[in-house]
Structure 1
Amino acid sequence: MNECLPIYIFGEVLFDCFPDSEPMLGGAPFNVAWHLQAFGANPRLISAVGADDGGQQILAKMQQWGMDTQSVIVDAQHETGRVDVTFADGEPQYDIVLDAAYDHIDQRCLPVPSGEHLLYHGTLAARCTTSRESLGQLRTWPGQKAFIDVNLRDPWWELDWVRSEVHGGHCVKLNRQELILLSAAEHEPADQEALKVLARNFRLANNIANLIVTQGADGAFLVDEMGDIISHSLPPQARTVVDTVGAGDAFSAIVILGMLNNWQWETVLERAQQFAGFIVTQQGAVSDNPAIYGDFKCLWGMR
């Protein structure tokens, strides 16, 4: 891949509503697009917002950040997406409001890419028929490398559909529990070696080129196209975790950035964990401070 490769990001944009603060911009695809824009990758977000104050705010924020809004539909029939976030034992719990604008991304409004490109999508935005059909249309584009970010949110996922969607993906990212669920494993892996065997088998069975398994504070590993395992865990760091919302999206954004810049996989995993580790020190999934992204670019020797 190369850094000039067109990037299309499909899925939800919404507001994360926390118990004790103002609503904050969110949605995994939006978060990934926001980070990539800050790192100079110029993605195009394919989504929908309502014809309401929230939708206007999202479009204004995107324009201020320099993001492409051509493929963000304004839907007069449905409200801008919202998630009510609560915490149990430090882990976020999500009440994802149904029938939001992003559930109705109309395929008549989809862009038509030419040539090689990267398509990122998750699984939440395909919970309703209209957006699922649009995603199906996107996945037929020729010259595509698909990055599927598995994001299982009960009750908004179906085992057979998710399995069919990850099949043949260029890069699939999921966490340990999602791997176990999608593999329909009869028993929890007894140790790391058993988990890696499960990941190898899942990659092979689903014709996935590169499979990434995240494990929170325990790091992440990748099963590459040859079936080899590449692992990287950052040393423990003294940091105050404010919330973990958006950490996985930050990780995904840096994986895509590394793919565009042809970083070695070990470097990709290291930097993805570095950036995700920063995101958990602030409330909300993204930062609107360009200097933060500039610091990481400097740290990583990027132009």
Structure 2
Amino acid sequence: MNECLPIYIFGEVLFDCFADSEPLLGGAPFNVAWHLQAFGVNPRFISAVGDDDGGRLILQKMQQWQMATDSVAVDPLHETGRVQITLQDGEPSYEFVLDTAYDHIEPKNLSMPIGEHLFYHGTLAARCSTSRESLGQLRDWPGQKAFIDVNLRDPWWELEWILAEVHGAHCVKLNRQELILLSQVEETQEDIEWLQELARNFRLANNIANLIVTLGADGAFLVYEMGQIITHSLPPQTATVVDTVGAGDAFSSIVMLGMLHNWQWETVLERAQQFAGFIVTQQGAVSDNPAIYGDFKCLWGMI
């Protein structure tokens, strides 16, 4: 792949609502698109917002961040998405409002790309039929390398659909618990060797080219090609964790950035963890400070 490769991102944009602060911009696909824009990529973000104050604010923030908004539909019938987030020891639980604008995404101003392109989506936005059907149409584009970021949010996921969606994907990212749930194992073990073997079997059974499993404080590992594994552990944490909302999205954005720049997988995992490690030191999933992204670009020799 190369940095000129077209990149499309499909899914929810919403407001993360915390008990003790103003609502913050969020939604896994939106977070990924926001980060990539800050790192010099211009992704096409495909979503929908309501014809309300929240929707107008989202479009305004995107424009200020120099993100293209022409593939974000304004839905006059459904409100902009929201999720109530409750934190316990820094770990979030989510309560999503149902039947919002991102449940009714109908792509607009899109033409089918010619040749190879990278396509990112999660799993939450497919919980309702309209967005699921739209996603299915986009996934049929030829020349596509699909990056699927599994986000199992109860009760908004179906095992059969997710297994069908990840089958044959170029890259799938999930966490430890999601791997166990999708593998449908009756007995679980704690040791990393067992988890890596489970990942090998899941990758093979679903014909996935690259499978990434994130382990929180224990780092992450990748299974690729003939079952080879690359591991990376997090360095000792020196900063205070505020919350982990958006950490996985930060990780995914750097994985995609690495794909575009042809980084070695060892480098991809290291840098993805570095950036995710920063995101957990602030409240919310994204930063609107360009200097932060500039610091990482300097660190990684991108400028």
Partner of 2:99: 99
Aligned ranges 1:133-144 → 2 under 5 Å = 133-144=133-144
Q: What SS does the aligned partner of 1:33 have? A: helix
Partner of 2:163: 163
What do the CA deviations read for 1:69-111 (whole angstroms, capped 9, x no partner)?
A: 1100000000000001111233101010000100001146644
**How big is the shift at 1:226?**
2.3
Where do 4+ consecutive residues of structure 1 move more than 4 Å?
Answer: 107-110
Bigger mean CA offset, 81-90 vs 157-166: 81-90
The 2-side partners of 1:40 and 1:70 are apart by: 19
Partner of 1:115: 115
**How big is the shift at 1:115?**
1.5
**How big is the shift at 1:114?**
1.8
Kindly provide the amino acid, as one letter, of the partner of residue 153 in structure 2. R
**How big is the shift at 1:30?**
0.2
Q: 1:64 to 1:189 in 2, by over 3 A?
A: same
State the percentage of identical aligned residues: 81
CA RMSD of aligned residues (A): 0.9
The 1-side partners of 2:135 and 2:111 are apart by: 12
What do the CA deviations read for 1:181-219 (whole angstroms, capped 9, x no partner)?
A: 000011113411110000000000000000000000100
**How big is the shift at 1:36?**
0.1
Please tell me whether residue 264 in structure 1 is matched to residue 260 in structure 2: no
Aligned ranges 1:147-296 → 2 under 5 Å = 147-296=147-296
Contact 1:175 1:215 in 2 (8 A): yes
Contact 1:12 1:27 in 2 (8 A): yes
Q: Any gaps of 5 or more consecutive residues in structure 1?
A: none
The 1-side partners of 2:210 and 2:53 are apart by: 40
Q: 1:115 to 1:76 in 2, by over 3 A?
A: same
Contact 2:5 2:118 in 1 (8 A): yes
Q: What SS does the aligned partner of 1:270 have? A: helix
Partner of 2:302: 302
Q: What SS does the aligned partner of 1:162 have? A: helix
The 2-side partners of 1:107 and 1:25 are apart by: 21
Contact 1:107 1:137 in 2 (8 A): no
Q: 1:41 to 1:108 in 2, by over 3 A?
A: closer
The 2-side partners of 1:242 and 1:193 are apart by: 31
Contact 2:90 2:242 in 1 (8 A): no
Contact 2:18 2:84 in 1 (8 A): yes
- TM-score, normalisation: structure 2: 0.98
Partner of 1:22: 22
Partner of 1:31: 31
Kindly provide the amino acid, as one letter, of the partner of residue 234 in structure 2. L
The 1-side partners of 2:192 and 2:185 are apart by: 15
- TM-score, normalisation: structure 1: 0.98
Contact 2:73 2:107 in 1 (8 A): no
Kindly provide the amino acid, as one letter, of the partner of residue 251 in structure 1. F
Q: Any gaps of 5 or more consecutive residues in structure 2?
A: none
Q: What SS does the aligned partner of 1:137 have? A: helix
**How big is the shift at 1:136?**
0.3
